[in-house]
Structure 1
Amino acid sequence: MKIEALFPIISILFNDQTKVEIFVQIELNSEQLIERKVPNDLHLPESIHGVHDIERLLVHVRSPPIFQHLLTYIRTWAQHMGLYGQVYGYLSGYCWAILCAHICHKHLSPIKSLSSIEEFSIDEFFSLVKQFFSTFAQFNWSADTFCLYPKSYKPVTYSGRPQIYQRGSMRIISPSPPFNNAARATKKSTRNLIIQGFQHVVQLLDSTNIITTEDKSNALEQILDLNNDFPNEKMKSIVQLIISSETINEFDSWIGWIKS
């Protein structure tokens, strides 16, 4: 038997700060392993993101309503910039949520009352947005691993991993066991575009006069008005590439190029 996924379903925090978590594990039998894996396969296991992952983020962010507002704003920006979507090699909504959770945890105070949320100002929200872009524009994505709970995460290295897997993907670790890389769909090219997107916003804010609340409100609108640098012409053709092989091992060593 092999554990395919492991994540908490119940978390209990006692008054003395003792924490107890009950985990569920999903296992594959031998026949399923043969179908899905090959011997000595070095792929990381598929991650499962669900309700419990989001709950863990909400506990971490100190102020869930403000976190949700920030996440909505950042996701809107990412979509406008064409930097959103795991299927396209960019960051998924879950990855953006992890990044927003870090900013909220670091720069927000715990909720004391509902009135404190209602009194949250444009100036404070602008400060959060600015911290988001400045933090991740400066983060060394090519070398460092980002995780919410550094003490809980122990990096896993694969010394025999083929060179083909060194795609330069961003490493954003899921806060729930088994601590998979939630950004594994990215690669060097998309990683660089995401970093350029962060830097573009920082440059915009540095060149904008931001003093009054109105200035900050206008700056927030300007960020959402940014577009990607890709051509806006309609797509005239679609190329479909079908890869086949006699054995699953051949997929691990296939390299291809496409030019347009």
Structure 2
Amino acid sequence: MDGDRYLGVTEPISTADPTEVDYANTKQLEEFVKGLALQGSREEEVRREEVLGLLDELVNVWVKMVSRMKGLNDEYVREARCKIFTFGSYRLGVHGPGADIDTLCVGPCYVTREEDFFVELHDLLQKTDGVTELHTVPDAHVPVMSFEFNGIPIDLLYARLPLWVIPEELDILQDSILQNVDEQSVRSLNGCRVTDRILRLVPNIEHFRTTLRYVKLWAKRRGVYSNVIGFLGGVNWALLVARICQLYPNAVPSVLLSRFFRVYKQWRWPNPVMLCAIEEGSLGLPIWDPRKNPRDRSHLMPIITPTYPCQNSSFNVSNSTLRVMTEEFKRGDGVCDSLDSKVADWSKLFEPYPFFESYKNYLQIEITAGDEEDLRIWKGWVESRLRQLILKVEKDTFGMLQCHPHPNAFHDTSKKVQVCSFFVALQRKQGAQHSSTPFDMCHTIAEFKHSVNQYLLWKPTMKIGVSHVRPKQIPTYVFPNGIRPVRPPRPPLLSGRPGSGPNMDNVPTSLSPEASTRAVVTPPSDGKVSDGKESKEPELSIPDTKRGAESLGVLGGPHSKRVRVELRSES
């Protein structure tokens, strides 16, 4: 790299060449992940390319059909075309086996999204051999049509340009392509624009791809891969990794992975992560600017997209999810630091996070629906509202209760109805002052209920309940092979020892009949215990009755039980 030139908004931290230990660690890392099938087979890649070719043919048949339907002359019909672009993990070259292909269809001005894309193209796809699982989400922030084509999952977006003819050589990186297009088209185009720009802003594409695969594997194993509920998704992790590649332009993947954790462990959020300077642009589109926009100032973990109009890609992050990710960055740095001076055993870094062994208190959000398709759309809607529940818990308990959501839903296949559950762990804010004053969660649950019930496609068979559960009450279907892990015996707790508390398993409770319908929680005083170690947190203090362990509030029913979270002082 030219000493006078560098990629990024600052000079690199280090331009040192790799050492023999760096190469050895990288080889060891490659050997470790080789058996994990992070990449698809050559046969699957060929099928993906074939499907993209078939999709390109199909959308061009569609656009000519639409041009005839709208009475365009023969010349326009002959020139009618759409262009297909890929983006996301497939375009970045980091997709795994079975992953979907994010695709964008760019069409001319007379082909509309509402009627032509979501109706005419949808009908054509329905009649096409090999197309299954066809679903449309026209009212999404970025409208999308999802389907499988010869077994390959596709997410298809549409952008409508103010052109009568789409040129064969269309450069979507030019800012001028955004001129006079609707908001949905700007968002759709920017998916491709961001992906392509990332690839142009990293010094070594192969090192970037390899490191990003490792980071995505780590994020999924550690339970922090989900943009919807407030963690980070694919593009967020890609931007974070790309910045590390800029800061260490000559480093090999093992070093880049180690520095990834070191840098973000120390990052002073909400200082933004940026791959390039934010451009004002000339089209008047809104950009991320906390100096002018109060809403932008509230963002906790800004990760800025590198194309105009620059936006914060991680606005969903909450205080609770930022805390969890920061703890995971610290853990990752600690693991990598212990491996830097020797040939590494990387398995510890990628150990799955023991979510159901790390806390004493959980919310279980159980949803049911009449059939598999209804559960799919109902689950998607509820998942999109979980972030609001987390924010409300933080707000209504004045930050005293922190949440750790699990990014996945768990399906109960033992029941005749379609059932799945989400889980959110609860803990006391570390260092918070102890108080015996309970927090009434009834309003929190009621607002969550109201939010969920706004779903326009709601059916009477779609139900949801929220239960407060202890580790012993976690359903077995969440565990691998349906087998609950054996918890090691707990050593006796000594009263008066610093940091220790009473063993709440056997604390007697004396609650009034009214209180017996309330779930009373005593969250931990010392924060989350990572890596499955025994928590010092006292367990829930609830009546030893069936009714006392019932749901915090059954959403969708006429009644909600009063929910109280009691933060008790430890003796």
**How far did residue 28 of structure 1 move?**
4.1
Contact 1:9–1:24, Cα closer than 8 Å, also in 2: no
Letter in structure 2 aligned against 1:69: T
The amino acid of 2:329's aligned partner reads F
Which of 313, 321, 326 is the aligned partner of 1:195? Answer: 326
* Distance of aligned partners of 1:245 and 1:77 in 2 relative to their CA distance in 1, 3 Å threshold: closer
TM-aligned CA deviation for residue 177 of structure 1:
1.1
Equivalent of 1:174 in 300, 305, 310: 305
- In structure 1, the residue matched to 2:177 is 23
C-alpha displacement of 1:62: 1.7
Q: Please tell me whether the aligned partners of residues 80 and 228 of structure 1 are also in contact (alpha carbons under 8 angstroms).
A: no
Deviations 1:38-73 (A, max 9, x none): xxxxxxx96864222111111111221221111110
Q: Is the 8 A contact 2:264 2:329 kept in 1?
A: yes
- 1:123-202 aligned at under 5 Å gives the runs 124-141=252-269, 143-150=270-277, 152=279, 156-157=289-290, 161=294, 169-202=300-333
1:243 maps to amino acid = S
Match of 1:80 in 2: 221
* Corresponding position of 1:17: none
TM-score by length of 1: 0.63
Q: CA RMSD in A?
A: 3.8
| Secondary structure of residue in 2 paired with 1:146 | coil
- Give the aligned residue type for 2:255: S
Alignment of 1:1-260 (within 5 A): 9-11=171-173, 22-25=176-179, 27-28=181-182, 49-109=190-250, 124-141=252-269, 143-150=270-277, 152=279, 156-157=289-290, 161=294, 169-206=300-337, 208=338, 210-212=340-342, 215-216=343-344, 218=345, 220-231=346-357, 238=366, 241-243=449-451, 260=468
**Is the CA contact 2:218–2:349 (under 8 Å) kept in the aligned structure 1?**
yes
Change (3 A) 1:172 1:28: same
In structure 2, what is the Cα distance between the partners aligned to 1:106 and 1:243? 43
Structure 1 residue ranges without an equivalent (≥5): 12-19, 33-44, 110-119, 247-257
Aligned-partner residue type, residue 203 of structure 1: G
Tell me how far apart the structure 2 counterparts of residues 51 and 159 of structure 1 sit (CA, whole Å). Answer: 27
Cα deviation 1:208-254 (Å, max 9, x = unaligned): 25433xx22x1x332112525444899965166342899xxxxxxxx
What secondary structure is seen at the aligned counterpart in 1 of 2:451? Answer: coil
The percent identity for this pair of structures is 21
Q: Give 5+ residue unaligned stretches, structure 2.
A: 1-141, 143-158, 160-169, 281-286, 368-381, 383-448, 455-465, 469-571
Larger Rg, first or second structure (1 or 2): 2
* Greater length-normalized contact order (CA 8 Å, ≥ 6 residues apart): 1
1:147–1:173 contact (8 Å) kept in structure 2: yes
Q: Bigger shift: 190-199 or 234-243? A: 234-243
Give, as a single letter, the amino acid of the residue that structure 1 aligns with 2:451: I
Task: Provide the C-alpha distance between the structure 2 equivalents of 1:106 and 1:150, rounded to a whole number of angstroms.
Answer: 15
SS in structure 1 of the partner of residue 350 of structure 2:
helix
Inter-CA distance 126–47: structure 2 relative to 1 (3 Å threshold)? same
Judge conservation of contact 2:365–2:467 (CA < 8 Å) in 1: no
- TM-score using structure 2 length: 0.31
CA distance in 2, matches of 1:94, 1:28: 23
Between the aligned partners of 2:354 and 2:300, the Cα distance in structure 1 is 20
**Is the 2:288–2:311 Cα contact (8 Å) retained in structure 1?**
no
Task: Give 1:108 deviation, angstroms.
Answer: 2.2
One-letter identity of the residue aligned with 1:101: A
What number of residue pairs does the alignment pair up? 201
CA deviations 1:99-153 (Å, max 9, x no partner) are: 11111122124xxxxxxxxxx9xxx322111111100110011x31121113647
Higher helix share: 1
